[in-house]
Amino acid sequence: MHKVEIRPGVWIAYEDDWFGKPWSVPETVVMVHGNSESSRAWVSWVTHLADEYRVVRLDLPGFGASTEPPGYGWSAGELAADVARFLDVLKIQTCHLIGAKYGVCMQLASEYPHRVNSLCLFGSPVRGSGSANADSIRTKGVRQWAAETMRARLGSSASAAQIRWWTEELMGKANPRAAWGASSARIDMELEDKLSRITAPTLIVTTKESGLQSVEAVERYAARIPSARVIVLPGDSFHIAAVEPEVCAQHALRFITRRAFVGRFCSGLAGVGAMLPIATARATYPDRPVRIVVPFLPGGGADLIARLLSPHLQQALGQPFVVENRAGAAGRIGTAVVAKSDPDGHVLLMTTESSLVIAPHIGVPLNYEPLKDFAPISLLTRNTVILVVHPSVPANTLNDYIALARGKPGQLFFASSGVGGPNHLAGEIFNRMAGVDIVHVPFPGTGGAIQAVVGNQVGAMWGFMAGLIPHIRSGAVRALAVGGKERSPALPDVPTVAESGLPGYEATSWIGLLAPASTPVVEIVWEAVKYALQDAAVRDILLRDGSEIVASRPEDFREVIANDYAKYGKMADLLMSAK
């Protein structure tokens, strides 16, 4: 367990969990438990949240392993101020706040609204001084009160191990003065006038019979918060967050993922002159079907991902997301259509790097400016490029194919998704490194190239693994080598080009989602996309087809585009010669 000093002599103990990629920077969830105030009460939540968020669980002053400040009163104001100091020390500028201590969390969200992206509260608020909760702790003692709470919630299903953990290991080790003091923190008198200051989207999960407040009373509190909703679960426990963590964690995860962006979006626009029209767009988006333009023929990687995600985006945002194929010129035609569309989020672009960072360097006219005319939403996947041949081609290995090409210069052909695309580039780099002359045959998208090879109109092609794996597994084409640095888990028996005799060869690509520049709802679409890519069925399909799921934030995708634009600029001679 970690400890930090938040003010002289006062140390806060906390746990810090993140199960995602170590180089990524996730958003932070801060968890503040109820009367035990122990981070251990939240341990069951971690497995549900820490794949997507950094999860920080803290022991409030006087509880768990944290120190007890002299003369501490455990008022909502004192506790909220110390949590804010804790966030400062850990350099957590903003967070999603989850808690079972209404007073502390509401005070924090009202006093520091710019720091709370979303607020999730579980249980029931106390009535104020002399509440049933505080009185019970004071008269019965923490252990007896805790045992009665657990039995009341779970009834006959409560096991001896559950009762023992709750009463002895968790609540029984709590500071009685702190437990009583914190439970007496009043909402009615201390916080009622501050609820309207809470700007974060707020979720309150309570039970029908909490023993402290009626559902109606909880709803009255929620009505004073500008953006709050209430979920009422069956039962009678105000400690539902600790007693039924899986149910509560799933409610919190769905709420954070699908709604917290509204709070971030509005707070990020504070003081901006365009606030009114942008906020209006956010509130109404989408108000009609959304077109996802794929600038290639059906059947390619970008088309497959667009069709895979569209029903999930419709479910998340409430309007149909319709895939529209506008193929031609290695994606430049469809890309230009999106560039000229209204920046309201109702026309999006699903594409590869072909039309954005390669096309500007091959000397063809563009009707758009790649770095200025688009608002990146997310880099969705990275995809390995693979070389396949028709079964009639007399080559079972890459070395066989190289030998065949060297014996027939200019007589073999390879297909790709179009001039200047990443698959075309993969083939030209292969020609140069292998010392062969295999003639390029462009098609308006990977789907068209695949059909040409399957139909034996062209003997080979370089293409995205996602679109080709079904044809490889069916035997319609034969895979010779993958362009990545390592073999793909989706095709572990297919060697890399590098290990097959061309060391240093690498050909990968990406697929991303963009909107026209100045689109005000980028964050909304990104949150919906991120949520869709968390779906187990979606992930299974993408991983099975050899894609690496990225789901980057908009600013990270913008950086990738800028870097790749510069990278391909340095390869202009190769691109021009391959045109």
The CATH class of the 2-136+177-268 domain is: alpha beta
Among 61, 73, 70, residue whose Cα is nearest residue 13: 61
The residues near 573 (Cβ < 8 Å, ≥ 6 apart) are none
CA dist 126 to 129, 179, 252, Å? 8, 13, 21
The residue ranges of every structural domain in the chain are 2-136+177-268, 286-382+510-578, 383-509
> CATH topology for 286-382+510-578?
D-Maltodextrin-Binding Protein; domain 2 (3.40.190)
Q: Which amino acid, residue 89? A: V
Residues 264, 27: contact at Cβ < 8 Å?
A: no
Among 28, 32, 52, residue whose Cα is nearest residue 41: 32
Q: One digit per residue, pLDDT tens: the chain, 579 residues?
A: 799 999 988 999 898 988 877 767 788 999 887 544 455 667 778 888 888 899 999 888 877 778 888 888 777 778 888 999 999 999 998 899 998 777 788 888 888 888 898 999 887 654 433 344 555 555 666 567 666 666 665 555 556 765 665 566 555 555 555 554 444 444 433 556 678 888 888 888 887 755 455 677 778 778 888 788 888 877 655 566 766 777 888 888 888 876 544 444 444 444 443 333 434 444 578 989 999 999 988 887 899 999 999 999 998 888 999 999 998 887 899 999 999 999 999 999 999 988 899 888 887 889 999 999 999 999 999 988 899 999 999 999 999 999 999 999 999 999 988 777 788 888 988 998 999 999 999 887 778 889 999 999 999 999 888 778 889 999 999 999 999 888 988 899 999 999 998 998 988 889 999 999 999 999 899 988 988 898 888 998 888 888 889 999 999 999 999 998 988 887 766 656 655
Q: State the burial class of residue 366 (Cβ atoms within 10 Å of its Cβ: 0-12, 13-18, 19+).
A: middle
Among 481, 415, 417, residue whose Cα is nearest residue 453: 415
Q: Quick one: CA dihedral 440, 443, 444, 450, positive or negative?
A: negative
Name the helix (H) or strand (E) containing 96: strand 95-99
End-to-end CA distance of the chain: 59
Name the helix (H) or strand (E) containing 379: strand 374-389
Measured distance CA(348)–CA(314) in Å, rounded: 14
Domains 2-136+177-268 and 286-382+510-578 share a fold: no
Q: Hey, which CATH number is domain 383-509, 3.40.190.10, 3.60.20.10, 3.40.50.2000, 2.60.40.10?
A: 3.40.190.10
Measured distance CA(421)–CA(425) in Å, rounded: 6
The residues near 442 (Cβ < 8 Å, ≥ 6 apart) are 330, 415, 416, 417, 418, 419, 421, 424
Q: What is the DSSP letter of 198?
A: -
Q: How many alpha carbons lie under 13 Å from residue 422 in its C-beta half-sphere?
A: 29
Can you list the positions of beta strands (E) in 260-373? 290-294, 321-325, 347-352
- Name the one residue in this structure whose structure tokens are 């993922």: 257
